[in-house]
Chain A
């Protein structure tokens, strides 16, 4: 093999791998991305039923209903709207009424949301950032830490 051929082989191999990777990335980006939506977005944006979403907001006070078989129904709300969520399975330890939550799942035709995973915060000083941002935008933001003076000074 001449020097030129060797260089060409190297460039071709690199080009091929990068092209394949690019194709994979682009298809995956089209198919697997999940958008974050607040309840108001779902109402105002007229999202098609069957779309996979991450729904974020506050768990409405008094809305958690536990049914037999580890089924849970609760309402996620923001300043203007509320969406009912069905979920079967284990809830995070810090899942509580009046606190931030992000549920990932599918929007049904009746605007009920069926979640397959529910994330709450991980630490009582911390709230899912998307939820915090939405609430700030709607002027609803308040520090939700449980009387945590040091947390407030940070």
Chain B
């Protein structure tokens, strides 16, 4: 019964979202206030309906209702409850439902943020958002209904793909989807501005928190996904330049650019058309990512069961929204009043450079990801574009951008001075050089690029910190003054510092991988393997069974300079329902580095094959990402965003109208 209600709720949500699309749009065009006011309640209604449908599916999973096809295919009674819940989005239908759920959630949040948004803008934004929701709801109902029944119901499900039975599935997709789908709000805002034919600093201020929220979650989602692939796939890598990874990385690059261009728009009333374009491109890339992942047109380490027939539907949605948005852009963008130009050497000049670099970097990833598809459809030739391409194109574009971060942050608005900025950054630069020299001294040489990158990472961190210090600490000031200044500094400034420092930390973590060691070897029980500075002794191999799998565990004792520091277990599992084997890497975090052991095949003489890595400072990659996201969150708590300045202006404007 609940399942039928869930299905019905989806249909209801489609109807409500059509109401939410048509009435407010009509209201905005006819300047009819009551009609525009329909947007809010309609958005809340759509959200309630979609949330009900989502919970109905969760309920079917938790109670193992095997009369539902989706549950049969992806669940099993023996599966732990957490994985029963996460299994909801571990498949095509469920993950699309999660997608729509988050879409509706964002619309509902915009609907409740009524005090910070002008009525027309809110109505138009929600209207566009509703159109997106309607398209995906239709997709769900027509081609990917998660509530399809099977008759007769089997006694047991087919279990979820073992690779997905992991805490990673519980966390990664929701985070990533909030980021992916969150950009839809920026898109809807942009479309609303185009329909209205008006855009100003107010718009930038209204859009910024939504972009920032999406960006924070996208950052966390990508970082989490990277860590999950790292420990689950057992290949020791944390980024493969895989099409599906790129699909999430491109919106991130666009969102990062958008984040910076809205700052320019808010402060200097410039870059308007470009910002609108970025918002459109950002969400287009999200849609493209959804299409690439869900349609199965790409071969990827992340591709699970897919169905090309559905791809055509998503492709239709993709073409409709991207084409529609660009058409709207071409038609209406000339109406937008252009902002002024500005001096190349200034904060806004640096932010423009930032946007140029990010957009170009995003374009190189785009070309590398889609070129194989284009070539295959044109000539039938199958090629693969792998990591070497991205290392040869993306990295050279990112390095100058990274170097520019502290400089841009130090330049003043309107008219900056390169010389002054250089003087203020001298300290940070000297410290970074010192750090690079220290690395050379400690490691007895390493690749030049890695050493330079570590120096660069430190330069970004010190530069971010020194900028904050100079702002709080005028020459010869007393501590009380410094404290008051530090407290008085807007939270968004602290957020910027933290986020940029996080970038520096990530850069150091990536550069440190030049010193990681890898060994493929054989070891017999009682034998030893030396990995970097650590020694591993194989204590034994024993079988173990747990819930829906049984495994062969190899237990190692890790020692450093003859002193035992702990045990490490790596295993090979067999998931009995699907008869599918998986390899579970054994990971031990020592300081900021990690020891990583993945098992291979057994040899005839009792020895086991293993691949062992020592990865110094590797955790900095993910810690740095978390610091970046924390910076974004801190910035979200800024007074300007919390208070919502536009309210007073609306109020003032409303008085003479009466």
B371 A29 Cβ-Cβ under 8 A: yes
A17 B360 Cβ-Cβ under 8 A: yes
Question: Would A7 and B161 be within 8 Å (CB), given that A17-B360, A54-B384, A122-B304 are in contact?
Answer: no
A13 touches which one: B356, B361, B364, B383 (CB < 8 A)? B356
The contact sample of 21 A-B pairs, CB cut-off 8 A, is A17-B356, A17-B357, A17-B397, A20-B396, A21-B361, A24-B392, A25-B367, A28-B389, A29-B385, A29-B389, A34-B383, A34-B386, A36-B382, A54-B382, A70-B522, A70-B601, A90-B520, A93-B582, A124-B579, A125-B304, A126-B306
**Distance in angstroms between the alpha carbons of A69 and B396 in the assembled complex:** 38
B580 A124 Cβ-Cβ under 8 A: yes
**Distance in angstroms between the alpha carbons of A69 and B604 in the assembled complex:** 11
A125 B392 Cβ-Cβ under 8 A: no
Contact partners of A146 in chain B: CB under 8 A? 578-579
Contact partners of A25 in chain B: CB under 8 A? 364, 367-368, 393
Q: Which of B355-373 contact A (CB under 8 A)?
A: 356-357, 360-361, 363-364, 367-368, 371
Contact partners of B301 in chain A: CB under 8 A? 119, 122
Counting chain B CB atoms within 10 Å of each CB, the highest count among A10, A28, A69 belongs to A28
Chain A's closest residue to B304 (CB) is A123
Interface range, B side: 35 or more
**Distance in angstroms between the alpha carbons of A7 and B397 in the assembled complex:** 23
Q: Which 9 residue pairs spanning A and B have beta carbons closest together?
A: A36-B382, A32-B388, A28-B392, A32-B389, A90-B600, A93-B581, A125-B305, A24-B393, A9-B344
B470 within 8 A of A: no
B69 A150 Cβ-Cβ under 8 A: yes
B619 within 8 A of A: no
Contact partners of A34 in chain B: CB under 8 A? 383-386
B520 touches which one: A32, A54, A70 (CB < 8 A)? A70
**Distance in angstroms between the alpha carbons of A35 and B379 in the assembled complex:** 13
Contact partners of A33 in chain B: CB under 8 A? 383-385, 389
A89 touches which one: B361, B384, B611 (CB < 8 A)? B611
A14 within 8 A of B: yes
User: Which residues of chain B have a CB within 8 Å of any CB of chain A?
Assistant: 69, 72-73, 158, 161, 163, 234, 296, 298-299, 301-307, 341-344, 352-353, 356-357, 360-361, 363-364, 367-368, 371, 381-386, 388-389, 392-393, 396-397, 520, 522, 572, 578-583, 598, 600-601, 603, 609, 611
User: Which residues of chain A have a CB within 8 Å of any CB of chain B?
Assistant: 1, 3, 6-7, 9-10, 13-14, 17-18, 20-21, 24-25, 27-29, 31-36, 54, 66, 68-70, 88-91, 93-94, 102, 104, 119, 122-126, 128-130, 133, 146, 148, 150-151, 154
Contact partners of B579 in chain A: CB under 8 A? 124, 146
How many Å from the CB of B378 to the closest CB on chain A? Answer: 15
Chain A's closest residue to B582 (CB) is A93
**Distance in angstroms between the alpha carbons of A20 and B400 in the assembled complex:** 12
B522 A10 Cβ-Cβ under 8 A: no
A93 B583 Cβ-Cβ under 8 A: yes
**Distance in angstroms between the alpha carbons of A133 and B380 in the assembled complex:** 11
Question: Would A6 and B578 be within 8 Å (CB), given that A18-B360, A70-B609 are in contact?
Answer: no
How many Å from the CB of A77 to the closest CB on chain B? Answer: 18
How many Å from the CB of B143 to the closest CB on chain A? Answer: 12
A88 B384 Cβ-Cβ under 8 A: no
**Distance in angstroms between the alpha carbons of A91 and B299 in the assembled complex:** 18
B364 A6 Cβ-Cβ under 8 A: no
A90 touches which one: B73, B352, B609 (CB < 8 A)? B609
Contact partners of A94 in chain B: CB under 8 A? 580-581
**Distance in angstroms between the alpha carbons of A21 and B234 in the assembled complex:** 34
B356 A124 Cβ-Cβ under 8 A: no
Q: A18-B360, A122-B303, A128-B299 are in contact. List 15 more A-B contacts (CB 8 A).
A: A3-B341, A10-B344, A14-B356, A17-B357, A24-B364, A31-B392, A32-B385, A32-B386, A33-B385, A34-B386, A35-B382, A88-B520, A90-B583, A150-B158, A151-B305
B161 A123 Cβ-Cβ under 8 A: yes
The DSSP consensus for interface residues of chain B is mixed
Contact partners of B341 in chain A: CB under 8 A? 3, 6-7, 10
A124 B578 Cβ-Cβ under 8 A: yes
B600 A28 Cβ-Cβ under 8 A: no
Question: Would A28 and B388 be within 8 Å (CB), given that A122-B301, A126-B306, A129-B296 are in contact?
Answer: yes
How many Å from the CB of A56 to the closest CB on chain B? Answer: 9
Question: Would A126 and B392 be within 8 Å (CB), given that A17-B357, A36-B382, A70-B601 are in contact?
Answer: no
Contact partners of B161 in chain A: CB under 8 A? 122-123
How many Å from the CB of B397 to the closest CB on chain A? Answer: 6
How many Å from the CB of B483 to the closest CB on chain A? Answer: 40
Contact partners of A102 in chain B: CB under 8 A? 299
Contact partners of B600 in chain A: CB under 8 A? 70, 89-91
How many Å from the CB of B34 to the closest CB on chain A? Answer: 46
Counting chain B CB atoms within 10 Å of each CB, the highest count among A9, A21, A27, A128 belongs to A21
A68 B364 Cβ-Cβ under 8 A: no
B611 touches which one: A14, A18, A28, A90 (CB < 8 A)? A90
A123 B371 Cβ-Cβ under 8 A: no
How many Å from the CB of A66 to the closest CB on chain B? Answer: 7
B609 A21 Cβ-Cβ under 8 A: no
Contact partners of B234 in chain A: CB under 8 A? 90
**Distance in angstroms between the alpha carbons of A1 and B342 in the assembled complex:** 10
Contact partners of B396 in chain A: CB under 8 A? 20, 24
**Distance in angstroms between the alpha carbons of A141 and B408 in the assembled complex:** 57
